[in-house]
Structure 1
């Protein structure tokens, strides 16, 4: 009886253990079943969070890029502002220059109206001076005056160029007064036209000598006529002609000079 009772107790215990194990297993299975949705939801949340973080990172990079572009554009704008300010200053300066030029143009018009009569008077004065001066290079000098008169009637020559040429003619005449010159030409002696060499000593003396050096004469300012020179001047006149032609070094000359009051 005892053995049977003991066996029965053992079976009861085993059964209880099996039932308990089955109960625990059933409980775990139930919990696992209950946790699966939560785990799935958590996984989805984590995946969504990861995707959101990627988007955030992308947006952050875009913001940084846009910010950098904004800073770059701001620098360009600052540079353009400085450049525009400088251009405005230059434009203001140019406008002032334009105003000054316009004023100068107006002044030039007034000056042009005044300077043209002045040049005409200067040419007339130069013509009178040449007519009363020692008669050297008469054809060349008269031709220069004729050219000046023709120039004044031309519209294709600027007033400034006309004035320059008139002043140039005056300068040429001034230079005649301080130079020594020899040139060939024709001169009437005793009613006969002969080839001679002229010697001009500034405006002090104008002398001729025939090519054979047989005759020589000088211009008398007081009488306004040519006068023959004695043969004693032959050597000095020949010497002066050679000096003027750069054939002889400068030296003292003994030539007749008219005394004027």
Structure 2
């Protein structure tokens, strides 16, 4: 508010004519002080506003720095991912370039594997002859089929090898046909790994074992029949596992 000193004097009935010059100077000084105070308040307000703006800019700057660090880490991860994908792409391209060569190499190997397992079945003890021969015939037929890819063919061949390997570690009892020079009879077979292959007639009056050296069946003495019966029961889980005293044909020592 502007202070009028002259008007105040008039209201009070005071005549200050001799001091008019001094009063004007005083009034002017008061007005300047008021203006100075007002300007100071405005300046302080501007300073306060600038201080608030500075803090906001500082907070925004720090936020931008954090975003920059996050983006830098993300870009670095992307670069590593792109590099890895490029290397994998090159590997796939190389594999595709060599696929023809791979097929030329793997097909003869698989054919040889089928021939080997066929020969092995023919030379091995004659257990499960129909099942094992049928498996080999299916493999041979599969190799000529165009609708079965190479990976599936290889998987089935390996599966057949695995089955043959398992025969050497298992005890098995099954019923089948025993073919001899005299006749063909239905008997119970007992396979003890690949160590021994035995048969027992259904009336349990006769038992025999396979002689791999002579490729023929040999009849066992009567005192061995009970051992074969016990072995069949163990294989069928009719008896708990126990020590079996079965006759075994051992190869003669090399002189």
TM-score by length of 2: 0.72
Q: Gaps (5+ residues) in structure 2?
A: 1-14
1:199 to 178, 190, 197: 190
- Please say if 1:251 is aligned against 2:244: yes
Which residue number in structure 1 is paired with residue 55 of structure 2?
Answer: 64
Deviation at 1:63, TM superposition (A): 2.4
Distance 1:201 1:25 in 2: 143
1:55 to 39, 46, 59: 46
Distance 1:232 1:68 in 2: 100
Decide whether the 8 Å contact of 2:211 with 2:249 is kept in 1: no
Deviations 1:157-181 (A, max 9, x none): 561x533432232233233345443
Q: Match of 1:206, SS?
A: strand
1:182 to 158, 173, 198: 173
Q: Match of 1:27, SS?
A: coil
Decide whether the 8 Å contact of 1:151 with 1:157 is kept in 2: no
Higher helix fraction (1 or 2)? 1
Deviation at 1:196, TM superposition (A): 0.9
Q: Which one has a bigger Cα radius of gyration?
A: 1
Distance 1:55 1:225 in 2: 116
Q: Match of 1:184, SS?
A: strand
- 1:234-245 alignment, distance < 5 Å: 234-245=225-236
| Two-structure CA RMSD over aligned residues (Å) | 3.5
Moved more, 139-148 or 169-178: 169-178
Q: Gaps (5+ residues) in structure 1?
A: 1-23
- Please say if 1:139 is aligned against 2:127: no
Moved more, 124-133 or 101-110: 101-110
Distance 2:246 2:116 in 1: 33
- 1:1-261 alignment, distance < 5 Å: 25-33=16-24, 35-37=26-28, 39-104=30-95, 106-107=97-98, 110-152=101-143, 153=145, 155=147, 159=151, 161-188=152-179, 193-221=184-212, 224-226=215-217, 228-229=219-220, 231=222, 233-246=224-237, 247=239, 249-255=242-248
Q: Match of 1:196, SS?
A: strand
Deviations 1:90-138 (A, max 9, x none): 4334433443454355456533431122112211221222123322101
Decide whether the 8 Å contact of 2:224 with 2:246 is kept in 1: no
Decide whether the 8 Å contact of 1:237 with 1:255 is kept in 2: no
Q: Match of 2:205, SS?
A: coil
